[in-house]
Structure formats: C-alpha cells, structure tokens
C-alpha cells in the first residue's frame, strides 16, 4: 500500500485506532502487516494514518451519542418520579420502563463499528 500523507490526514497510535474501529490491537497490527491500512513506524511503535474527515465524523457521532445518553438518563429519572407518584404499582409505566433501561444500558457501548450498528437497525426495521 502506498504511503499517503497530506494536510487532510492525521496519525493515530495503534491503541487509539483500534478503539476507533472497534477491533483489538492485535487485529490492527495484522492489518498493518497485511498492508490493509497505511501506517508508519515511529519511535513509540506504529502510527496509523487516518483521514481527518473520518476522525471529525467519528467525533461528531461520539458527541451526539453522549447527548443521547444524557437524554435517556433524564427520561429514566422522570419515569422514576412518575412511578413513585403512581398509586397503582402495576401501572402501565412499568412497560415503558424496561425499554428505557435497556437503552440506557446499551448506550455506553460505543466500541461497535458504525457499519454493524446500522446493519442491525436496517434488519430490525425490515422485519416490522
């Protein structure tokens, strides 16, 4: 693979790149060895060359995910307040509570690559 480096690229360490794509460090080293990704060997190991546009997109997506997590947490708190005010403990609010808790529990898992997440969402929407 040709070495590509310009103003629109940035260098990332193997650890940072593996976190970005949701793979292990070992897999990234194998990808470098096989020539699947561009990298330079530096003083502290390999530096993977990544397009700045991709990094900006990832950072924007990460910010939006954090905003969604906080919204989910707020909704969960509101739901708990409503449940505490509810006289009947078997109120329909319990049915709403489970999906919200599941969404909050899944939200911190940002390591999955975007492709996999989108494929799952497409499969779920086509089943309905």
The DSSP-derived string for 27-75 is: HHHHHHHHTSS-EEEETTEEEEEEEHHHHHHHHHHHHHHHHHHHHHHHH
Question: With bands split at pLDDT 50, 70 and 90, how would you rate the model's confidence at 31?
Answer: very high
State how many domains the chain has.
1
Is 21 among the domain residues? yes
Is 118 among the domain residues? no
Q: What's the Cα-to-Cα distance from 94 to each of 51, 72, 98, rounded to whole Å?
A: 46, 16, 7
Per-residue model confidence (pLDDT) at position 15: 92
More confident residue, 85 or 44: 44
Say how far apart CA 79 and CA 83 lie, in whole Å.
Answer: 6
More confident residue, 46 or 88: 46
Tokens of 57: 């997109």
Calculate mean pLDDT across residues 8-27: 88
Give pLDDT tens digits for 47-56. 998 888 878 8
Q: How many CB atoms lie within 10 A of CB 95?
A: 8
Calculate mean pLDDT across residues 104-114: 57
Is 36 among the domain residues? yes
Question: With bands split at pLDDT 50, 70 and 90, how would you rate the model's confidence at 2?
Answer: very low
Q: What rounded mean pLDDT belongs to the chain?
A: 75
Question: With bands split at pLDDT 50, 70 and 90, how would you rate the model's confidence at 105?
Answer: low
Is 77 among the domain residues? no
Is 33 among the domain residues? yes
Is 22 among the domain residues? yes
| E strands, 1-128, in order | 9-13, 39-42, 45-51
Does the pLDDT value for residue 81 go beyond 90?
no
Is 119 among the domain residues? no
Is 115 among the domain residues? no
User: By residue range, what is the domain housing residue 27?
Assistant: 9-53
- Using alpha carbons only, give the angle 108, 115, 3 rounded to the nearest 5 degrees: 105
């Amino acid at each position: 693979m040709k070495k590509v480096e310009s103003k629109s690229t940035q260098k990332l360490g193997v650890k940072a790149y593996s976190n970005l794509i949701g793979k292990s460090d070992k897999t990234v080293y194998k990808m470098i060895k096989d020539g699947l990704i561009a990298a330079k060997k530096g003083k502290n190991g390999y530096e993977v060359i990544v397009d700045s546009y991709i990094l900006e997109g990832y950072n924007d997506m990460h910010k939006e995910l954090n905003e969604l997590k906080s919204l989910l947490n707020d909704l969960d708190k509101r739901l708990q307040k409503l449940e505490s005010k509810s006289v009947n403990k078997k109120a329909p609010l319990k049915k709403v509570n489970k999906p919200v808790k599941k969404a909050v529990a899944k939200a911190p898992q940002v390591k999955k690559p975007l492709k996999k997440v989108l494929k799952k969402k497409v499969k779920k929407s086509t089943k309905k």
